[in-house]
A and B are shown apart, each in its own frame.
Chain A
Amino acid sequence: MILSQIGYYSLIFVLAISILILFFCFKQLKFLNKNYYSNLINLNFLQFLLVVISFFSLIFSFLNSQFINKTVYENSHTTKPFFYKLSGTWGNHEGSLLLWILVLIIFCLLFLFTSQKKEKKYLTLTLLFQQIIILGFLIFTLVTSNPFDIIFPIPNEGLGLNPILQDPALAVHPPILYIGYVGCSIIFSSSLAALISQNINGNWASHIKKWAIISWIFLTVGIMLGSIWAYYELGWGGFWFWDPVENVSLMPWLTLTALIHSLAVIEKKSQLKGWVIILSISTFVLSVAGTFLVRSGILNSIHTFANDPQRGIFILIFLFLLIFLSLVIFFKFHKQDLNINKITLTNDLSILINNWFMMYFLSVVLIGTIYPIFLEVINDTKISVGPPFFNKLISIFLIPFLLFMGFGASLGWLKSNFQKIYFQNVVLFFISITISSYLFLFIGDKGLFLSLIMGGSIYLFLATIRDLIKRNKQNLSQRISHFGFSLLVLSILFNSIFSEEYNFNLSVGEKFKLEKESIFFKNISMTNDKNFKKVEGVFLIKSNNNKDIILKPQLRIYNQPVIITSEADILSTLYSDNFIVMNKIDDSNMFNIRYQKKPLMIWIWISTIIIALGGTLTFFKYRK
């Protein structure tokens, strides 16, 4: 009771302070010669303290299972392990919004502390926009999804957290992704502020690049964690399904990636200003649009939380207010660059090309995700856009993209020794085409198209390795990220081309023979765990070279709420993953078994970590 009230009232105070800060911001803008800066920092700090209190009172409500709180009642249960009680705090709509606000305010405070030396007008404007965003989310939370609603009489027991969400990767996935999204809000506010105060220059670019990179790192890791969860928990045997919610997290990542590259151009040459602003705005707008699509229930997806049209309409209005606000500001304050230098065949051209590709990929993902919504409204037909659409449209452009990426990154900023680079790349290209065709000759015909993609990615891989082992330390972080990316593309390709999948029914004691292996269903056992019943099957996989593997997939019957999930068992090695999942067939003693071999699976995660690592290095370089 008391916890809920503390949480609720501190949240209201946070709202009041937010309005107060807005007031001081306007005052500061009006009287630029006066200094309200210390006031603003103090208020922000107070706001931060209050939101922390609010957040912790929700956490404690969850940890103590205080079912008087509706959010706790709906999403927790006394038998839940400590870790999932904790992650239950943000595993639901209300709590995750509170987390979002917390991160927003923390970032706002960090921004104020780290950029005190900047121009006053620019700072105040950034703060102003940031507080508008905070205010929007606060009102949304308090009006439509208050995490501190109270139920009376107090229920004895909660309804439980959805078991699919009870997974370590997923417990940390939302906070990390949120940090990424919220970081984009700083970029958004700051770029609008810089636009109004006519402050867009190399200095600003280096300043904002830190925030872009931080958000980018967290987005990358957050997307990866979601993907790991899908692979291990959902038991579908894949890591990316082009699910609308996955797409929604990918879209800001694409624009942010383009933004980071374009910021480098502004830093060095003061070009592409308008473009950078558009990217900054669209990154955050896409993040909020993502929230809208996930939270309103407008899309059917495994991630959609409880559907509540009122919530949807609120975010929709907020989203379009942001869009219209930025449109007006952009058209009012943006002036065309007067002295456009000719773009030459140097690094900035390759960055421009990179941006075009990113925009292409973005539009494919965007259209694939929201096209069904448009069609349903206009034409009243229901369609679902599946992986074939995305795979086809993206893979076609992947070939030139891979080639440009390998080639472009090796160009210098100002002048390049064109002939030498040209020669090197052509040699590398031929080497990779040869490797790729040999590979395909070896395993049999898989078509010209695949061998071209393979050739392209091998080329990129070789080119990034060549760049990586160059002596000079310049751009080391970029080279690491590019190397990681090429590794990622290569492992995804190998993974999708050489995966094997077998689907069959077995009962205990039976054997199933494959070409090179045999799978023996040894036995089955049932045990009780803390919050679920576990049915575990033991499978012995014998291969011709006498390496035996034992895999133990499970069926879990959770007790609160009752949901049956199948847990895959996966043996990961550096070369490949062996993946097995079983499902009970109704009215018989047979089980449906899905056995998969996925080559280089673990490299998908490793390469993503390498990509993020490159970003981290850049970040520390910029901190100096």
Chain B
Amino acid sequence: MSSKIKFISIFCFFVFCFFIFFQSLKESKKYTPKALMDKKIINFKMKQLDSDEIITEKDIFEINKITLLNIWSSWCLPCREEHKYLTELKMNTRLNMVGINYKDKKKNAQNFLSEFGNPYSLILVDDDGKNSINFGAYGVPETFIYNSKKKLIKKIVGPIDLKTFNEIKNILK
């Protein structure tokens, strides 16, 4: 009899543990490195995708708009997944979207945009990836959001998903 009670109590204890862990798994532990936050955008010079015009960090911002900088590439699989969110964000008039085409071939990049649509108001070319590196990007895709004072307020490592999409929408409110 006592063995049964022991068994049941131990069993219940582990069931309890299971639910605690299960609950804890649901809460995301992703976070943005704090070091980059509130920093001003770095200086850069990049060519445009469709023309040879040189663009610097001063040219990408528009007055009273939030600027979203998205690093993408035609060969990057997750970039395709996040593209639908970018296309939807394009509708928002408070947002200015700039793409940085990372280590890509011009032709492939253009094919990508004609296939999936172009959400960006401006596309810069970063063939050797150096500029993205200077931004503090780990890889593609990565998204940087700057406020109207040109300060970084959010960084998303990896593709934009439904959750981060909603967070961006909240920023735009």
A binds B: yes
User: B-contacting residues of A (Cβ < 8 Å)?
Assistant: 70, 151, 153-157, 159-160, 292, 296-300, 304, 307, 309, 312-313, 316, 320, 323-324, 327, 331, 373-374, 376-378, 559, 561-563
* Chain B stretch 115-155: residues in CB contact (< 8 A) with chain A: 133, 136-139
Instruction: Report A108 CB to chain B, min CB distance, Å.
Output: 27
**Does A309 lie within 8 Å of B77, measured CB to CB?**
no
Checking A153, A297, A316, A373 against B75 with a beta-carbon cut-off of 8 angstroms, the contacting residue is A153
Contacts of A307 in B (CB 8 A): 28-30
Q: Are A157 and B103 in contact (CB under 8 A)?
A: yes
Cβ contact within 8 Å between A313 and B22: yes
Stretch at the interface among B6-14, B61-69, B85-93: B6-14
Q: A454 to nearest B CB, angstroms? A: 39
Also in contact, A374 and B20, with CB within 8 A (given A157-B103, A327-B10): yes
Q: A316-B21, A561-B139 are in contact. Are A156 and B75 (CB under 8 A)?
A: yes
Assuming the contacts A155-B76, A562-B133, asked whether A327 and B7 have C-beta atoms less than 8 A apart, the reply is: yes
CA distance A406 to B143 in the complex (A): 60
Interface residues of B in 5-38 (CB under 8 A from A): 6-7, 10-11, 14, 17-18, 20-31
Choose from B11, B25, B133, B137 the contact partner of A316 (Cβ within 8 Å).
Answer: B25
Residues of B close to A374: CB separation below 8 A: 20
**9 closest Cβ pairs, A-B complex:** A562-B133, A155-B75, A331-B7, A312-B25, A377-B23, A159-B139, A561-B138, A320-B18, A373-B24
Dominant SS among interface residues on chain B: helix
Residues of B close to A316: CB separation below 8 A: 18, 21-22, 25
State in angstroms the CA–CA spacing of A331 and B10 once bound together. 11
**B3 contacts the other chain (Cβ, under 8 Å)?**
yes
Complexed CA–CA distance, A313 and B19 (Å): 11
25 CB < 8 A contacts A-B: A151-B77, A155-B75, A155-B76, A156-B103, A157-B103, A160-B139, A298-B24, A298-B25, A298-B29, A300-B31, A309-B26, A313-B25, A316-B18, A320-B18, A324-B14, A327-B7, A327-B10, A327-B11, A327-B14, A331-B3, A376-B24, A377-B23, A378-B20, A562-B136, A562-B137
Contacts of B137 in A (CB 8 A): 562
Smallest CB gap from A374: residue in B: B20
Chain B residues in 8 Å Cβ range of A327 = 7, 10-11, 14
Q: How far is the CB of B63 from chain A (nearest CB, A)?
A: 28
Asked, given contacts A324-B14, A377-B23, whether A297 binds B7 with beta carbons under 8 Å apart, the answer is: no
Closest chain B residue, CB of each to CB of A380: B27
Enumerate chain A residues within 8 angstroms of B21, measured Cβ to Cβ: 292, 298, 316, 373
Interface residues of B (CB under 8 A from A): 3, 6-7, 10-11, 14, 17-18, 20-31, 74-77, 103, 108, 133, 136-139
Closest Cβ neighbor of A328 among chain B residues: B7
* CB contact under 8 A between A377 and B14, given known A156-B103, A561-B138: no
Tell me the bound Cα distance from A297 to B103 in angstroms.
Answer: 30
Name the residue in B103, B108, B133, B137 with the highest tally of chain A Cβ atoms < 10 Å from its Cβ. Answer: B133
Question: Complex formed: what's the CA distance from A296 to B29 in Å?
Answer: 10
Residue numbers in B under 8 Å from A296 (CB-CB): 25
Q: Give the residue among A324, A374, A376, A377 with the most B Cβ atoms within 10 A.
A: A377
Question: Closest approach, in angstroms, between the C-beta of B138 and any C-beta of chain A?
Answer: 5
A377 in contact with B29 (CB, 8 Å): no
Distance A67 CA – B23 CA, assembled complex (angstroms): 36
Closest Cβ of chain B to A319, distance in Å, is: 9
For the complex, what is the distance from the CA of A98 to the CA of B79, rounded to whole Å? 27
Which chain A residues lie closer than 8 Å to B10 at the CB level?
327
- State A160–B133 Cα separation when bound (angstroms): 13
Note all chain A residues with C-beta closer than 8 A to B75: 153-156
The minimal Cβ–Cβ distance linking B128 to chain A, given in whole angstroms, is: 10
Taking CB atoms, residues of chain B closer than 8 Å to A297 are 29
CB B9 to nearest CB in A, in angstroms, measures 11
Q: Name the residue on A nearest B14 (C-beta).
A: A323
B22 cross-chain contacts in A, Cβ below 8 A:
313, 316
> Quick one: closest A residue to B35, CB to CB?
A586
Which chain A residues lie closer than 8 Å to B20 at the CB level?
Answer: 373-374, 377-378
Residues of chain A within 8 A of B133, CB atoms compared: 559, 562
Give chain A residues whose Cβ lies under 8 Å from the Cβ of B11. 324, 327
Complex CA–CA separation, A159 to B71 (angstroms)? 14
B26 contacts across to A, CB distance below 8 A: 309
Beyond the given A155-B76, A327-B10, A376-B27, please list 9 additional residue pairs across the A-B interface where CB-CB is below 8 A. Answer: A151-B77, A153-B74, A297-B29, A304-B29, A309-B25, A313-B22, A316-B18, A316-B25, A324-B14
CB distance from B26 to the nearest CB of A (A): 7
Q: Which of B7, B24, B108, B137 has the most chain A CB atoms inside 10 A of its CB?
A: B24
A70, A155, A376, A562 — most chain B CB neighbours (10 Å): A562
* Cα–Cα distance between A374 and B7 once the two chains are bound (Å): 23
B19 and chain A: residue at smallest CB distance: A377
B104 nearest CB neighbor, chain A only: A156
- B23: chain A residues at CB < 8 Å are 377
A376 to B133, CA, bound (A): 36
Most chain B CB atoms below 10 A, which of A70, A160, A374: A374
Q: Are A562 and B25 in contact, with the CB atoms below 8 A?
A: no
Provide the residues of chain A in CB contact with B14, threshold 8 Å. 320, 323-324, 327
Question: Closest CB of chain A to B152's CB: distance in Å?
Answer: 15
Q: How far is the CA of A450 from the CA of B101 in the complex (A)?
A: 60
In the bound complex, do residue B76 and residue A300 qualify as a contact, i.e. CB atoms below 8 Å apart?
Answer: no
Query: Which residues of chain B have C-beta atoms less than 8 A from A320's C-beta?
Result: 14, 17-18
Complexed CA–CA distance, A380 and B22 (Å): 15
Q: How far is the CA of A313 from the CA of B25 in the complex (A)?
A: 7
Cα A374 to Cα B19 in complex, Å, equals 10
A296 — nearest CB in chain B belongs to which residue?
B25
- What is the distance, in angstroms, from B56's C-beta to the closest C-beta of chain A? 20
Residues of chain B within 8 A (CB-CB) of A156 are 75, 103
B5 CB to closest chain A CB (Å) equals 11
Which residues from A are CB-within-8-Å of B28?
307, 309
- With a cutoff of 8 Å between Cβ atoms, the chain A residues found around residue B139 in the complex are 159-160, 561
Q: Distance in Å from the Cβ of B84 to the closest Cβ of chain A? A: 19
Give the chain B neighbours of A378 by CB distance below 8 A: 20
Q: Which residues of B contact A324 (CB under 8 A)?
A: 11, 14
Determine how close the nearest CB of chain A comes to the CB of B168; give it in whole angstroms.
20
A562: chain B residues within 8 A (beta carbon): 133, 136-138
A519 CA to B139 CA, complexed, in Å: 39
Complex Cα spacing A373 to B74, Å: 40
What's the Cα separation between A373 and B31 when bound, in Å? 17
| Least Cβ–Cβ distance between A311 and chain B, in angstroms | 9
